[in-house]
A and B are shown apart, each in its own frame.
Chain A
């Protein structure tokens, strides 16, 4: 399993997670109202928090995704995105278990872009593993952060 420690794998993991989150943020930033509706449909957050969450979450995805891609503040970004992905898994899991059929709101706010389901949970789990890898091994090559700074001794 030596390849798991290969620094280039850290780079690849960082770019994938960062890229996915940056891509995921665009449509939600452009359409806050549609995204707020999707957040509300998940039926998890109290109503008062729905809009605030819908306004800030996509920016958090964008900022942390960019941080991973350029390799700056990788540790903090990896913690946040691992946490977010875990939260998404729980939120999707709850609604799959409830048997509700709602829009995922993952990459697009248009209705019927994508529905909740087991495939989505699987992809989120993959994303979580990749971001945990970044957390574990640090940024790898081609990062603004110096490698030693981010890999816990």
Chain B
């Protein structure tokens, strides 16, 4: 028992020394105490992610997203992975995983037109894929883009319409 405690103390102290030393010496230092913003998922405040820029596409509140959803002309794009999309997504939303953009883009492009209104979303709260996807699409010339940053989490919490189920892989890939 005594030996276990002294071994644990030794291993823990070495690790603390290495962790502290690394943060003092090496590049990529982080503050000892970070400043974290909590994105409230129950209220309708929008807290954009730290990486948000002034000229980014607008962020929607839940109420605004709801209004967009009620308009069948607006297309919701799900920026998450296919597995997440299959497990559940905003009803009628179309899958366009940001991390596999080139693979999926051909299947989505035909559904879009430059003047169609687009809303991107991802998991919500701490995920930034919706922002990255919105920026990327705007770079391709789509102008009517907004971001529902509350995302899937907020949508579920509000008991809004959802879909789930398998999605066909693009371009005959996989089979």
Chain A residues with a Cβ under 8 A of chain B: 29-33, 36-37, 40-41, 47-48, 50-52, 54-60, 62-64, 67, 73, 75-77, 79-80, 99-102, 111-112, 115, 149
B window 19-57: CB within 8 A of A: 19-20, 22-23, 28-36
Q: Whole-angstrom distance between the alpha carbons of A62 and B16 in the complex?
A: 12
Is A51 in contact with B30, judged by CB distance below 8 angstroms? yes
Chain B residues with a Cβ under 8 A of chain A: 3-4, 6-12, 14-16, 18-20, 22-23, 28-36, 80-81, 83-84, 99, 123, 125-129, 152-153, 156
User: Known contacts A36-B34, A76-B10, A112-B99: does B84 contact A56 (CB below 8 Å)?
Assistant: no
Give the one of B4, B125, B128 with max A CB within 10 A.
B4
Q: DSSP majority for the B interface?
A: helix
User: Known contacts A79-B8, A101-B152: does B32 contact A52 (CB below 8 Å)?
Assistant: yes
Report the minimum CB–CB distance from A65 to chain B (whole Å): 10
Chain B residues near A79 (CB-CB < 8 A): 4, 7-8
Give the one of A29, A51, A67 with max B CB within 10 A.
A51
Is B11 in contact with A55, judged by CB distance below 8 angstroms? no
Chain B residues near A33 (CB-CB < 8 A): 28, 30
Is A40 in contact with B15, judged by CB distance below 8 angstroms? no
The one of B30, B80, B84, B126 in contact with A41, judged by C-beta atoms closer than 8 angstroms, is B126
User: Known contacts A50-B34, A59-B18, A63-B18: does B7 contact A75 (CB below 8 Å)?
Assistant: yes
Is B16 in contact with A76, judged by CB distance below 8 angstroms? no
